[in-house]
Amino acid sequence: MKLFETTRRAVMAIAVGAAFLGPAGAAGAQTAEKPFITVASTTSTEQSGLFKHLLPQFTEKTGIEVRVVAVGTGQALKIGERGDADVVFVHAKSAEEEFVAKGFGVERLEVMYNDFILVGPKSDPAGVRGTGDVVKAFQAIAEKKSPFVSRGDDSGTHKAELALWKLAAIDPKAGGSWYRETGSGMGPALNTAAGMDAYILADRGTWLSFKNRGDLAILVEGDDRLFNQYGIILVNPARHPHVKEKEARAFIDWVLSPEGQAAIASYKIEGEQLFFPNARKKGA
């Protein structure tokens, strides 16, 4: 009997406490339901600091929170294929177009660009500094068997690197221990290269924000084949009905708008612009 009475009193206390919450309790519930979207994107947009600069401006304007999953482009597209994100924001055009062609995305829209750079030790054992020809530089690195660090993670940067090895007619994995794949993001891969005094293909945005450069420096840049375009895609709500289409479209529209494009252009480190907006109208 005592146990029953104790339990009854506890239940009544909880009910009374809930009643006293009143409007405050309702406000708490509303806070918990604040709208958000999930964006699968690249380590370069995250580790460069772009999202920390960009997303608060969007959230302040719309009230929509953006939760970023920062992985390599290949992984980001797979997340989109599974419907585990509302938007993908990546940089590997052919893979993005395939994603849309297979019905996983609605439309690929160009947002911004920067470039890749070939980074390496200042001593430059392969002698590639200032060549301006990244393919010849890759050939020289392979010929000298100078240490080279690859992300090896199916990211946009990794895809670009593999394309350059193909242009150089070289299979780096057949070359021995000088070629090392890390399976990691851009920042950790740069850390590995700095520790090894190795060459590495990097995106300029992450490089500019990278502090642990050691003896590394930019050795090859400016080749047209180092152009790095970013695209944004709405994950197809027809395939994944739980996709938050309204909120996701609001984010995409803002990123492509003059306001969003200006926000991208305004992000700089030590006065140097990291990304250059080049959005095109939908359907263009």
Going from N- to C-terminal start, the domains of the chain cover 35-114+229-277, 115-226
DSSP string, 194-234: HHHT-EEEEEHHHHHH----TTEEEEE---GGGEEEEEEEE
Give the strand pairing for 227-235 and 199-203: unpaired
Enter the tokens of residue 21.
């919450």
Pairwise pLDDT comparison (12 vs 147), residue with the higher score: 147
Residue 184: other Cβ atoms inside 10 A: 18
Q: Tell me how far apart the alpha carbons of residues 57 and 165 are, in angstroms, rounded to a whole number.
A: 40
Structure confidence at residue 32 as a pLDDT band (50, 70, 90): low
Q: Tell me how far apart the alpha carbons of residues 20 and 2 are, in angstroms, rounded to a whole number.
A: 27
114 contacts 203 by C-beta, under 8 angstroms = yes
State pLDDT tens for residues 132-188: 999 999 999 999 999 999 999 999 999 999 999 999 999 999 878 999 999 999 999
Do 35-114+229-277 and 115-226 share a fold?
yes
Mean pLDDT of 61-83: 96
Residue 248, strand partner residues: none
State pLDDT tens for residues 201-238: 999 999 998 999 999 999 999 999 999 999 999 999 99
Phi/psi of residue 99, nearest 5 degrees = -60, -45
H helices present in the chain, as ranges: 2-32, 43-47, 50-62, 73-82, 93-101, 134-144, 156-167, 186-196, 204-209, 245-256, 258-265
State pLDDT tens for residues 127-144: 999 889 999 999 999 999
Top CATH class, 115-226: alpha beta
Top CATH class, 35-114+229-277: alpha beta
